[in-house]
């Protein structure tokens, strides 16, 4: 069976890119601390948007989807699930809420991970919810011609409980003893979790929920305001590529987790940068027109009303729509499409 010893991480020499990413994340986290103290009232809408995005994106990565309206209603608990997809979405919402509200009292143990997995499936009848896998699973890819290729074989079911216990013990030990930089230990734990692939279903979603939990417990709260899951979804191919590259040799303990660590750190840093961009728009009390104008200038290429809503959480939908109409009339924006398919592009 694969062995785990996180103390060995101390012996590894990290390249300048890793060190630069870590330094930049700490710098951005310090800036966020100031925002949290100075502008607490401006942040609640960012939290609401991030919850909706996180729930939507993490499920969509796994092909679990519903309409934008239904996602919003489910996350805001204004409706009940109508089908299996919505049951899974509601379960993700519940786990995310628990992490947001109770992260500091959720220890990193197999028992608590199993409890969170059980809640993930609490809106449906899943007989193995909250239990580790009972059949061998595989990480595979389906190609355009229809053939399926196995990319990685996770641990066998009988090895799984001990492995989860071990990575939890190792993580808690090196974090508790301050042996390892948390921004290194967190992606390594998540990488091991994904290689173990402990559940018959829900491994990807659980890994993203656990990433948020671990970051919160170590003082990195960006995921509360900017959806890390949405950022991963936008770069899904890079995520899978980094994971696959880092899995080679994992069973023998000869893997190089560097690509996955860099991907996770890059995603965290990008989220902090996005947080700063959004806060810069609400930091000064600007008229709706100017706020939407600046938000549109922050977007590359085409964008929709939802993109502006995310950057301007303090504005109502009617204010955003009015400002977009004015910018079109002024010749600064061009509108294409109708209804839900409406998009905008910059002319100036």
Report pLDDT for 29.
95
Report pLDDT for 301.
85
Report pLDDT for 278.
82
* pLDDT > 70 fraction of the chain, expressed in percent and rounded: 97
Summarize the confidence of residues 51-68 as an average pLDDT: 95
Tens digits of residue pLDDT in 127-157: 999 999 999 999 987 777 888 889 999 999 9
Q: Tokens 């809420």 map to which residue?
A: 97
Tokens of 121: 């499936």
> Per CATH, which fold does 6-281 belong to?
Fic-like fold (1.10.3290)
Helix (H) / strand (E) element for 30: namely helix 16-38
Q: Between the ranges 61-70, 161-170, 325-334, where is the mean pLDDT highest? A: 161-170
Q: Which of 90, 63, 92 is CA-nearest to residue 79?
A: 90
296 contacts 346 by C-beta, under 8 angstroms: yes
3-class DSSP state of 149: strand
Report pLDDT for 283.
63
Question: What average pLDDT does the chain have?
Answer: 93
DSSP of 157-182: GGGHHHHHHHHHHHHHHHHHTT-S-H
The Cα angle at residue 53 between residues 76 and 246, in degrees rounded to 5: 140
Report pLDDT for 314.
76
200 contacts 252 by C-beta, under 8 angstroms: no
What is this structure's pTM? 0.89
Report pLDDT for 43.
80
> Per CATH, which fold does 285-346 belong to?
Arc Repressor Mutant, subunit A (1.10.10)
Per-domain residue ranges for the chain? 6-281, 285-346
The Cα angle at residue 37 between residues 231 and 223, in degrees rounded to 5: 15
Tokens of 292: 């939407």
Tens digits of residue pLDDT in 324-334: 999 999 999 99
> How many CB atoms within 10 Å of residue 52?
22
Distance from chain centroid for Cα 76: 19
Summarize the confidence of residues 293-309 as an average pLDDT: 87
How many Å is the Cα radius of gyration of the chain? 21
User: What 8-state DSSP symbol labels residue 125?
Assistant: -
Residue 150 has φ and ψ, to the nearest 5°, of -80, 120
Least confident residue range of 24-28, 178-182, 291-295: 291-295
How far, in Å, CA of 266 to CA of 279, rounded? Answer: 20
The band of 121, judged by pLDDT with boundaries at 50, 70 and 90, is: very high
Report pLDDT for 284.
65
Q: Is the pLDDT of residue 220 over 70?
A: yes
Q: Is the pLDDT of residue 214 over 90?
A: yes
Report pLDDT for 317.
86
User: What 8-state DSSP symbol labels residue 64?
Assistant: -
Q: Is the pLDDT of residue 311 over 90?
A: no
């Amino acid at each position: 069976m694969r062995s785990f010893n996180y103390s060995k991480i101390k012996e590894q020499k990290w390249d300048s890119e890793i060190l630069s990413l870590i330094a930049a994340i700490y710098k951005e986290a310090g800036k966020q601390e100031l925002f949290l103290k100075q502008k607490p009232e401006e942040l609640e809408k960012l939290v609401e948007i991030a919850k909706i995005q996180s729930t939507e994106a993490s499920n969509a990565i796994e092909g679990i989807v519903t309409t934008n309206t239904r996602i919003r209603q489910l996350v805001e608990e204004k409706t009940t699930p109508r089908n299996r997809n919505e049951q899974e979405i509601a379960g993700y919402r519940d786990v995310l809420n628990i992490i947001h509200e109770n992260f500091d009292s959720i220890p990193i143990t197999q028992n608590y991970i199993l409890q969170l997995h059980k809640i993930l499936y609490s809106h449906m009848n899943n007989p193995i919810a909250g239990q580790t896998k009972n059949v061998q699973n595989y990480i595979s890819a389906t190609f355009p011609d229809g053939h399926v290729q196995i990319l990685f074989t996770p641990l066998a079911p009988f090895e799984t409980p001990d492995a989860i216990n071990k990575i939890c013990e190792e993580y808690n030990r090196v974090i508790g003893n301050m042996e390892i930089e948390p921004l290194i230990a967190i992606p390594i734990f998540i990488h091991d979790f994904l290689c173990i692939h402990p559940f018959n279903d829900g491994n990807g979603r659980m890994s993203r929920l656990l990433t948020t939990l671990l970051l919160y417990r170590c003082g990195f709260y960006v995921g509360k305001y900017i959806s890390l899951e949405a950022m991963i979804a936008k770069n899904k191919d890079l995520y899978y590529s980094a994971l696959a590259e880092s899995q080679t040799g994992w069973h023998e303990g000869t893997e190089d987790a560097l690509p996955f660590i860099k991907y996770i750190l890059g995603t965290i840093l990008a989220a902090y940068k996005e947080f700063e961009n959004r806060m810069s728009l609400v930091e000064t009390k600007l008229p709706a027109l100017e706020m939407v104008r600046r938000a549109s200038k922050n977007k590359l290429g085409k964008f929709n009303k939802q993109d502006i809503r995310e950057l301007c959480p303090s504005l109502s939908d009617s204010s955003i729509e009015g400002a977009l109409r004015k910018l079109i009339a002024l010749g600064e924006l061009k509108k294409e499409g109708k209804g839900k398919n409406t998009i905008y592009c910059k002319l100036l």
